[in-house]
Amino acid sequence: MTQAKLFDQTLCTLGEGPFWHPERKSLIWFDIMEKYLLERRGDVSKVQKLKFDSYVSAAGWINQTQLLMATSEALVKLDLDTGRMNKLIDLESENILTRSNDGRADPHGGFWIGTMGIKMESELGAIYRFYKGELRKIFSNISIPNSICFSPCGTIGYFTDTVVGQILRVGLDSVGWPNSKPEVFVDCRSKDINPDGSVVDLDGCLWNAQWGSSRVARYSQNGELLNTIEVDAPQASCPAFGGDNFSTLFITSARDGMSTSQLIKAPMSGALFYAETQVIGQKEHRVILG
């Protein structure tokens, strides 16, 4: 067991979607409910914020300055230096009840993104894949999509519906589309664990943030629990590898829905944490638009 340390004390209502931009050498993450993108470069302590009119939740990098970013209505191309956005494609823009949630770029240059009810309505969400201009729904009837991540070889994708409590894995074809029926990788229900965001290291092991359990758990390729990182916030939401050697695990957290007494016990809920590990994470994959 390892104890995570504080990386940034900005308190997000719902911290999510962290990733290390390999060209900017910065950590980017989101406060979904407050509609912020946050960025902190290297050793610079000051956080840069971009505010939006819509919910924003996840992104993948296109180049040094541009991201593909998910909002509650669309996938957009965002310039980090100017804040300017250009819409690429609608994402459930006709449904005012949903927003985007967990998402990540895949090893083939695609981008997976989940949607869900703003009020967490049952089975209102889905998971989509955007690949070279095409947006295709790949999984339906999901309440809270999370744990979107991929094996280093690019042949396995992972995801979960946090409400169901099972992390699933699915085979991917040569360009990254699912080509098999999802199967259970880790069943968290028996231990009353809520699987949230995940990331996979270069050894093929999956690191899962566990909402309500104050930890990130590492699982082997066979789904065996290997070790945990403890977080001083009960609602750990998503991990991401970064830093100079990609051995630092960053962890977002949330304070959404916590009572006053819970916040007194865990005042840094919503902050961003980190832990140095003995493994190497994957470099965040680049999104290819065309």
**Which residues carry out catalysis?**
196
Sequence-ordered list of residues with C-beta below 8 angstroms from that of 273, at least 6 positions apart, any chain: 4, 5, 6, 7, 231, 232, 233, 236, 250, 251, 253
Whether the Cβ atoms of residue 84 and residue 104 lie closer than 8 Å to each other: no
Sequence-ordered list of residues with C-beta below 8 angstroms from that of 67, at least 6 positions apart, any chain: 28, 59, 60, 61, 77, 78, 80
Structure-token pair, residue 195? 């699987």
The SS3 assignment for 9 reads coil
CA–CA gap between residue 111 and residue 281 (Å, rounded): 18
Q: Is the dihedral of CA 288, 53, 85, 15 positive or negative?
A: negative
CA–CA gap between residue 99 and residue 154 (Å, rounded): 27
The amino acid occupying position 42 is: G
Going by the DSSP 8-state scheme, the letter that residue 212 receives in this structure is: T
**At 260, phi and psi to the nearest 5?**
-60, -45
